[in-house]
Chain A
Amino acid sequence: MKKFAAWAIFIFGVVYFVLPLIGMTEFSLKMRRGVYSFDAYFKVLADPQFQATFTYSIMLALATILIGVLIVVPTAYWVRLKVPEARPLVEFITLLPLVIPAIVIVFGYIRMYNTSSVLPLTGSAFGTDILLTMGYVTLALPYMYRSVDTGLRTIDVGTLTEAAQSLGAGWVTILGRVILPNVLVAVLSGAFLTFAIVIGEFTMAALLNRPAFGPYMQILGANRAYEPPALAVIAFAITWACMGLIQLVTRFAGHERAKA
């Protein structure tokens, strides 16, 4: 009876999540009357706006990952090594982006960095791109920090640091050649999550008026019938590809260790 109930809940869950996806995918294939086709997909992929916004979002995602790694890895490392008592506080700070809505953050940015401020980042496209990237870094902070911190937990940070120091290594060498390579899988997990967040983000990009993929999806959805579900399927596939890559990287690392 228990087994039946468990299966029933599982099947309900699958139906609840998968049916809408099937419906959306099926609808996206019905652009040509009477037959299934990929017309909507071809149309979306051929759209110069798609290519431009998608490329833009990828570039910003890469910049976000780079800045996120540069901020989070040394911070998480230093907290573990030197100020472990500050961990609860740092964890709380990194969780704030989850409870403060993106719209609040972006309005704060606009007030702080508008054209009449000391640092008028919104006054130029490049400046706004920097602002948007920083916003994305903030949004991704909870995921990146947790990934890296979990990775650091698996190694003896203190002893490895001391071993490297006794061999003459300075902080940059220790971080670059000892710590980072040993938490690379965790960093990649955080990076893929960051990538998935940035690719679909709408609020910040729309309010800062930047040509990102999120606002493009919204504009397309408001004006077309078949292309938006095709685009949604593409975005969904990208997100799941990221998740799959996290799994792959994690398993690969696990396999390497299991060889011992």
Chain B
Amino acid sequence: MTAFLDLQHLEKSFGETRVVKDFNLGIAKGEFVSLLGPSGCGKTTVLRMIAGFETPSSGAVIVDGKDVTGLRPNQRNVGMVFQAYALFPNLTVAQNVGFGLKVKGVGKQEAEARVAEMLAMIGLPQLGGRYPFQLSGGQQQRVALARALAPRPQLLLLDEPLSALDAKIRVSLRQEIRDIQRSLGITTIFVTHDQEEALSMSDRIVVMNGGIAEQAGSPFDVYNRPATRFVAQFVGTLSLLPATVTDVAAGTVSVAGTAVSGLALPPAAHTGAAVSLALRPESLRRQGRPGDASLSGIVRSVDFLGSVMRTRVEAAGEMLAFDAFNDPALPPPQPGDTMTLHFAPDSALVLPA
């Protein structure tokens, strides 16, 4: 893969604090990559270094083979969408969208055509004459996207653009953003702390923690094959049960006296090593199948989430989350009930304790 955007050994320190540590990432042309992580993990700082708003303490930002590390933000041809929309309040929607074109000196007719094209693309062709304060949050963010794309940037940077919107609009807008990105084929970096957004929108996810990239991979890989304990816990819901390795060759661990075999153990695992057995809520089921392992516990709480019922079962001294599709014909379990849960060994993860 030839990287269109190549981040090489990026470092950023604010005073004594190292916010980004030896960050390396190559992004192919047209790829949609999400930087996912908790607050303060350095994801926004990486984005701001790509945009030119922060100067790296060391390392390089290469775009299309050209080192842009020393360029000012207005020389980088990078479109950016901010969490707070950042539309210019004194300009109409059309003027906002056309701002970058005017700055570039694009002719009036060409600029007008491009603005009309952008407004049509975001589904707001009739709102060109309105001011930002006359639009809803979702409309403002669409306009911000159109404004960022109008000058045909080589990169699109999205800094938590959906965070300020309500849940329903967030879901519809993320699909719109993805559709637009696909249709334009523009290389996009999306910063979010919302794992659902990252999983649903990205070609690739980079999970960040403490200024480093813990794992980079497809949403499927990151979710199903987390490389580190942090990734496993941060992406999706995970229940961790204390376990002890009893047979390395057979991949067997003992969880509260129950042997579970056929597991993929960490490379450094040895007999007697303390590990954690990690289980996703959706990998547990009430009806067992041949080869399944099983754990029994006491139901502590039942949360009705609409399509899904989440039950928390106390087993092996830990709380185990279990999701089942809502079936109106079946009565939900009650707190205090004893419940046996089954799982396929290959759906469980074994992480270092």
Verify A163–B89 contact, CB threshold 8 A: no
B227 at the interface (CB under 8 A from A): no
* Chain A residues near B151 (CB-CB < 8 A): 167-168
CB proximity of A188 to chain B, nearest CB, Å: 14
Verify B133–A163 contact, CB threshold 8 A: no
Q: Which of B78-135 contact A (CB under 8 A)?
A: 78-80, 82, 84, 86-90, 99-100, 103-104, 131, 133-134
Q: Which of A160-218 contact B (CB under 8 A)?
A: 160, 162-170, 173, 177-178, 181-182, 184
Verify B88–A163 contact, CB threshold 8 A: yes
Verify A163–B82 contact, CB threshold 8 A: yes
A159 at the interface (CB under 8 A from B): yes
B289 at the interface (CB under 8 A from A): no
A255 at the interface (CB under 8 A from B): no
B191 at the interface (CB under 8 A from A): no
B220 at the interface (CB under 8 A from A): no
A224 at the interface (CB under 8 A from B): no
Number of interface residues of B (CB under 8 A): 31
Q: Which of B122-155 contact A (CB under 8 A)?
A: 131, 133-134, 144, 147-148, 151
Contacts A168-B74, A168-B100, A168-B103; is A162 near B80 (CB within 8 Å)?
A: yes
Verify B51–A156 contact, CB threshold 8 A: no
B225 at the interface (CB under 8 A from A): no
* Chain A residues near B72 (CB-CB < 8 A): 165
CB-defined interface of A134-157 with B at 8 Å, one 1/0 digit per residue?
000000000000000000000110
Verify B88–A173 contact, CB threshold 8 A: no
Number of interface residues of A (CB under 8 A): 22
CB proximity of B1 to chain A, nearest CB, Å: 27
CB proximity of B216 to chain A, nearest CB, Å: 25
Contacts A182-B89, A182-B90; is A168 near B77 (CB within 8 Å)?
A: yes
Verify A159–B84 contact, CB threshold 8 A: yes
Neighbour of A160 across the interface among B86, B104, B133, B157, CB < 8 A: B86
B352 at the interface (CB under 8 A from A): no
* Chain B residues near A167 (CB-CB < 8 A): 74, 79, 99-100, 103, 147-148, 151
CB proximity of A88 to chain B, nearest CB, Å: 21
A260 at the interface (CB under 8 A from B): yes
A3 at the interface (CB under 8 A from B): no
In chain A, what residue has the closest Cβ to B133? Answer: A260
A257 at the interface (CB under 8 A from B): yes
In chain A, what residue has the closest Cβ to B130? Answer: A260
* Chain A residues near B51 (CB-CB < 8 A): 162, 166
Contacts A178-B88, A181-B90; is A166 near B133 (CB within 8 Å)?
A: no
B281 at the interface (CB under 8 A from A): no
B53 at the interface (CB under 8 A from A): yes
A259 at the interface (CB under 8 A from B): yes
Verify A260–B74 contact, CB threshold 8 A: no
B262 at the interface (CB under 8 A from A): no
Verify A166–B89 contact, CB threshold 8 A: no
B73 at the interface (CB under 8 A from A): yes
* Chain A residues near B74 (CB-CB < 8 A): 165-170
Contacts A162-B73, A182-B89, A182-B90; is A169 near B103 (CB within 8 Å)?
A: yes
In chain A, what residue has the closest Cβ to B80? Answer: A166
Verify A163–B86 contact, CB threshold 8 A: yes
* Chain A residues near B84 (CB-CB < 8 A): 156, 159
Q: Which of A209-260 contact B (CB under 8 A)?
A: 257, 259-260
Contacts A167-B99, A169-B103; is A162 near B86 (CB within 8 Å)?
A: yes
Verify A156–B86 contact, CB threshold 8 A: yes
Tell me the bound Cα distance from A159 to B144 in angstroms. Answer: 12
**Most chain B CB inside 10 Å of its own CB: which residue of A167, A169, A173, A259:** A167
In chain B, what residue has the closest Cβ to A154? Answer: B89
Tell me the bound Cα distance from A12 to B71 in angstroms. Answer: 65
Verify B134–A166 contact, CB threshold 8 A: no
* Chain B residues near A166 (CB-CB < 8 A): 51, 73-74, 76, 78-80, 148, 157
**Which 3 pairs, one residue from A and one from B, show the smallest C-beta to C-beta distance?**
A167-B100, A163-B86, A260-B133
